[in-house]
Amino acid sequence: MKEKNKIKKPVYSYLPKKQKEVNILSELALDLRWSWDHSADEVWRQLAPELWDITHNPWAVLQTISRDKFQSVTDNPKFRRKINFLLKSMKKSNAAPAWFQKQHPKSSLTCVAYFCMEFMLSEALPIYSGGLGNVAGDQLKAASDLGVPVVGIGLLYQQGYFRQEIDIDGVQHALYPFNDPGQLPVRPLRQSNGEWLRLKIELPGYPVWLRVWQARVGRVNLYLLDSNDVANFPVHRGITAELYGGDAEIRFKQELILGIGGWRLLEELNIHPEVCHLNEGHAAFAILERAYSFMQKTGQPFDVALAVTRAGNLFTTHTAVPAGFDLFKSTLVEQYLGEYAEQNLGISRQQLLGLGRKNPGDESESFNMAYLAIRGSGAVNGVSWLHGKVSRSMFEPLFPNWPTNEVPVSHITNGVHMPTWDSKEADEIWTEACGKDRWLGMNKTLEQDIRKVSDERLWEMRTNANKALIQFAREHFRKQLLSSGHSTYAIEQAKNLFDPNILTLGFARRFATYKRPNLLLHDPERLLRLLTNPEFPVQLIIAGKAHPADQKGMDLIKEWMEFIRRNELNPPVIFLSDYDMHVSENLVQGVDVWLNTPRRPWEASGTSGMKVLVNGGINLSELDGWWAKAYNPEVGWALGDGNEHGDDPFWDALEAEQLYNILENEVVPEFYTRNEKGIPSSWIARMRESMAQLTPQFSADRTVREYTEQHYLPAAKTYLKRVAKKGLKGKQMMNELQNLQENWDSIRFGETKIATSEKQHTFDVQVYFNDVNPDTVRVELFAEGMNGNAPQITNMERGKKSDGTANGYHFVASVNSNRPATDYTPRVIPNLSGVSGPLETALILWQH
């Protein structure tokens, strides 16, 4: 099926349909490139200045503007030339060869399907909650910039994540305004005959119709599924109502729609990705539907189909604690997928449930979406160096008898889309120093180039950024007080809050206990003294939501509100409500120091601190997530000792003391120590190094390039080999693997002889294979790594046959004698062509 690309007339608009300018502006408005390329901002502001400043939604501007206003603006020849130029530039940019086309012109990769529960692209499209959506949205934008062939698959929520209101008593309230899809920058996906594309998903006892929407993100299409179809029962229309709302059954149905419905949509559109990227486990049901699709085309059974298709699946986990994984009761899985397993996949209900359990036969165990994702993927990665290490420990039970550091979880550290998060002035500075194409994957000299910017220019940028932030904070806070019933006096006072010349700290993230948002409140009096120091004052801006079901998180917000209320006279702290992408943009562009205080290692990566880098903000953070590897004394400040201490209150107190000391003795003095020009030269030096060393390293273009070269390209190659000739290679592989599994227990070790000389130990190990073909295994010597290094693994060469045996052999290897021979243990692991161990087979035998 081919969809029509022609832009339709705005849903509610009475603008003249045939007028050329309507079509031009509609095409500009429906490409979310405007969320990071601000060259068209003045166009929308000319059409509806107040609405644009409130919504930053060009599609809503076109839906709302009157014909008279539209005509008066478009009658201006200069305006018409401007929008014609913008459209040509947009089309040229989308069509031009980019990094991927230049670096990988002969690649077999034609499409990556990127599945995620949420996407943060713009506040005008509120289908996101926080970090996960931030990563997904920024990676789609970077894929567009780099020309990586990606399509996104997600859900269109009628209400999305909740909107936050803080009442006069400091209590959070959750609001769920309706997202009118007619005013969102998306459009119905229509078939060639004009019919709206709708998918039918059979749930137990009833069908659910899914409408399909399309959002355009530069070169990338994002397809969104929505259950709010008039043909559905009212209860089913609300399946896609809220993001991370509702009970476990609603969540399960959302994930079923995302995974199974999402893959069916690709089939309907005749899109055949080599790679399916599961950004978190929510979309893991796509693994089942992808295998089923292959079964339908080839007639292969499920085990072969899974072996073939998993080679093209990549699972990225963002969870740092086991409690963060989606778990569903077995009865729920059976209710919704039992018949699907038996009739479509040709497997039993117990086999299906086993894919999501640590112990497949344990009927008391819940169904874990992350386990399904691992068992159906060809590669797994965490989102920072530390998170990769943590994930290997968490998933170790799935790979019994394998060393933790060999559990098959790698890492690619997250990055942020710098053009989305930089201020206008920061963009100008980077453009002057490094060129306008600096985030397109080709510039190798960013670090050296940005160091050439003068102290004066950098300080001017920071001063202006602080002024812009204070202006935004005053206006946002004033509206916040108006809506929560504060006095006229308090509302008037908001106009004069804060001083742009004062050191400004920022703290904004989800309020959860592990993030310790109240670490600064450990000693309230000391904090107050720090903030109100008459010689070197400090001001603090806080923002963040607590999940409506998280009472402890909401209590943390209230604790801050009570601290602020106790110090009402010219408060040096404000809490900005309804933290969203727009608030985040303003904060990361304007704060001097970004605070982050999670308990290590519970923050998988964290991206908020990365956003300040491009703008000259400096991080003061726990050595967790991305900061564990990013920190050095030249670029910011570190909290903690780089070790894990759980939720020990004593350690929290020690770190609170450390935080106060760093602020009082390092941050504040450095900011206020000025040279003869009034510039804090040491501060600027640290800021410059942060910009130079870290911004390129933690940019989403680096992240997407790494995903492409480390995962997408190899996965596509392996997948295409396995899928060829209706999965012949996959079938052969499964036969070999099944034979090996059936006979594995017949392998046993015989005598081991060790000869030690001055320089080496020589091991001679006898292994009896019995019914196993020795060509299908590898015998190794294994020694644990020393001083934090990787383990030492030495391949043993097969020698002569063992006397008196039909299938026994000597295996020989020599290793350096700088370690005792007792450090080494022989082991046998599978060695099947094309099979990735231990991910695809966890068989292993150790000599005891």
pLDDT digits (tens, 9 = 90+) for 803-845: 877 899 999 999 999 999 999 999 999 999 889 889 999 999 9
- State residue 830's pLDDT score: 97
Read off the pLDDT of each residue in 148-165 and give the average, rounded to a whole number.
96
Write the CA distances from 608 to 130, 506, 565, 623, 693, integer angstroms.
Answer: 10, 10, 27, 15, 17
User: CA 25 to CA 39: how far, in whole Å?
Assistant: 13
CB atoms inside a 10 Å sphere around CB 167: 14
Q: Taking the mean position of all CA atoms in its chain, how far away is CA 434? A: 27
Residue 514: phi, psi to the nearest 5? -70, -20
Q: Taking the mean position of all CA atoms in its chain, how far away is CA 25? A: 31
Cis peptide before 49 (omega within 30 of 0): no
pLDDT at 599 over 60: yes
Q: What is the maximum span of the chain, computed from C-alpha positions, in angstroms? A: 99
Q: Which residues pair with 153 in a beta bridge?
A: 115, 223
What token pair was written down for 272?
Answer: 């055949």
Q: What share of the chain is helix, strand, coil (3-state, %, to 5)?
A: 45, 20, 35
Burial classification of residue 194, based on how many CB atoms lie within 10 Å of its CB (0-12 exposed, 13-18 middle, 19 or more buried) = exposed
Model confidence over 87-141: pLDDT tens digits? 999 999 999 999 999 999 999 999 999 999 999 999 999 999 989 999 999 999 9
What token pair was written down for 839?
Answer: 């991910």
Residue 549: phi, psi to the nearest 5? -90, 0
Read off the pLDDT of each residue in 323-340 and give the average, rounded to a whole number.
95
**Region of residue 244 (left: phi > 0; alpha: psi -120 to 50; beta: else):** left
Under the banding of pLDDT at 50, 70 and 90, the label for residue 324 is confident
Write the CA distances from 321 to 629, 641, 645, integer angstroms.
Answer: 20, 20, 14
Under the banding of pLDDT at 50, 70 and 90, the label for residue 323 is confident
Q: Where does 149-270 have alpha helices with state H?
A: 234-237, 248-256, 262-268
User: CA 313 to CA 306: how far, in whole Å?
Assistant: 10
pLDDT at 624 over 60: yes
pLDDT at 3 over 50: no
Reduced 3-state DSSP string for 509-526: CCCCHHHCCCHHHHCHHH
- How many residues in the chain? 848
515: Cβ–Cβ under 8 A, 6 or more apart, which residues? 509, 597, 598, 599, 602, 603
User: CA 457 to CA 179: how far, in whole Å?
Assistant: 42
Please tell me whether residue 710 adopts helix, strand or coil conformation: helix
User: Sign (positive/negative) of CA torsion 296, 302, 303, 307?
Assistant: positive
Read off the pLDDT of each residue in 526-550 and give the average, rounded to a whole number.
95
Contact 718, 834 (CB under 8 A): yes
441: Cβ–Cβ under 8 A, 6 or more apart, which residues? 98, 99, 103, 145, 146, 701, 705
Read off the pLDDT of each residue in 599-625 and give the average, rounded to a whole number.
96
Read off the pLDDT of each residue in 745-763 and give the average, rounded to a whole number.
95
Reduced 3-state DSSP string for 220-249: EEEEEEECCCCCCCHHHHCCCCECCCCCHH
Write the CA distances from 543 to 177, 342, 359, 587, 673, integer angstroms.
Answer: 20, 49, 42, 9, 29
- State residue 619's pLDDT score: 98
Contact 835, 734 (CB under 8 A): no
pLDDT at 331 over 50: yes
Q: Which residues pair with 542 in a beta bridge?
A: 507, 575
Closest CA to 816 of 792, 834, 841: 792
CB atoms inside a 10 Å sphere around CB 520: 25
Read off the pLDDT of each residue in 326-337 and give the average, rounded to a whole number.
96
162: Cβ–Cβ under 8 A, 6 or more apart, which residues? 174, 175, 176, 242, 245, 545, 548
Model confidence over 4-35: pLDDT tens digits? 444 555 556 667 766 889 999 999 999 999 99
User: CA 236 to CA 225: how far, in whole Å?
Assistant: 13
421: Cβ–Cβ under 8 A, 6 or more apart, which residues? 585, 588, 589, 611, 614, 615
Please tell me whether residue 161 adopts helix, strand or coil conformation: coil
Query: What is the Cβ-side half-sphere exposure of residue 789, based on CA atoms within 13 angstroms?
Result: 7
Closest CA to 279 of 310, 317, 224, 327: 317
Mean pLDDT across the chain: 94
DSSP 257: I
pLDDT at 482 over 90: no
What token pair was written down for 630?
Answer: 């990013």
- State residue 4's pLDDT score: 44
User: CA 585 to CA 587: how far, in whole Å?
Assistant: 6
Cα three-residue angle 463-466-471, rounded to 5 degrees = 130
Please tell me whether residue 10 adopts helix, strand or coil conformation: coil
Task: Report the DSSP pairing between strands 748-756 and 636-639.
Answer: unpaired
What token pair was written down for 669?
Answer: 């003095």
Under the banding of pLDDT at 50, 70 and 90, the label for residue 2 is very low
Question: Helices 77-95 & 67-74, crossing angle to 10 degrees?
Answer: 90
DSSP 833: T
DSSP 709: I
Under the banding of pLDDT at 50, 70 and 90, the label for residue 334 is very high
Contact 506, 591 (CB under 8 A): yes
- State residue 1's pLDDT score: 45
Q: Taking the mean position of all CA atoms in its chain, how far away is CA 107? A: 25
- State residue 834's pLDDT score: 87
User: CA 511 to CA 8: how far, in whole Å?
Assistant: 41
User: CA 350 to CA 369: how far, in whole Å?
Assistant: 15
Write the CA distances from 69 to 48, 73, 75, 433, 766, integer angstroms.
Answer: 9, 6, 10, 40, 88
- State residue 570's pLDDT score: 63
Cis peptide before 838 (omega within 30 of 0): yes
User: Sign (positive/negative) of CA torsion 773, 774, 775, 778?
Assistant: positive
User: CA 579 to CA 211: how far, in whole Å?
Assistant: 29
236: Cβ–Cβ under 8 A, 6 or more apart, which residues? 203, 206, 208, 227
Please tell me whether residue 96 adopts helix, strand or coil conformation: coil
Please tell me whether residue 127 adopts helix, strand or coil conformation: strand
pLDDT at 426 over 70: yes
pLDDT at 571 over 60: yes
User: Sign (positive/negative) of CA torsion 382, 388, 392, 394?
Assistant: negative
Please tell me whether residue 22 adopts helix, strand or coil conformation: helix
